[in-house]
Amino acid sequence: MTESDEIRFQASCLCQALVRNINQNFVSVSFEVLYDGTILVRFGLSSRSQIEEELIEDAIAEFSSMQEVDCIRAPEIRLWPFNDCLTNIVYRKKMN
């Protein structure tokens, strides 16, 4: 599988994992395949509560279950506003 095929496959898997695991407080979701082959998922939130923690935990569990090997790192969670240049964005909410 080429690198671009792998990115498309992982984007599709992550989108599927986000179904029913996202709410209005999610600003962005992206991922990066790191040098060692592990995957880091980044969640940007406008606010963070126990509900978002549970949704993220469920999404990561579903995403992990789609992998052939244990390659999903603990997610990175940031509160809006953030200035990072995100890669492989699968969800982005329009912010004013």
Q: What total number of domains does the chain contain?
A: 1
20-63, pLDDT tens digit by residue?
Answer: 999 999 999 999 999 999 999 999 999 999 999 999 999 999 99
CATH number at residue 57: 3.30.70
Q: What is the DSSP string of 16-74?
A: HHHTTS--TTEEEEEEEE-TTS-EEEEEEESS--HHHHHHHHHHHHHHHHT-SSS-BPP
Asked if pLDDT for residue 15 goes beyond 80, the answer is: yes
Domain residues for the domain of 56 are: 3-92
**Which DSSP helix (H) or strand (E) runs through 12?**
helix 3-18
CA-to-CA separations, 51 to 55, 56, 70, 88, in angstroms, rounded: 6, 9, 25, 25
pLDDT at position 37? 93
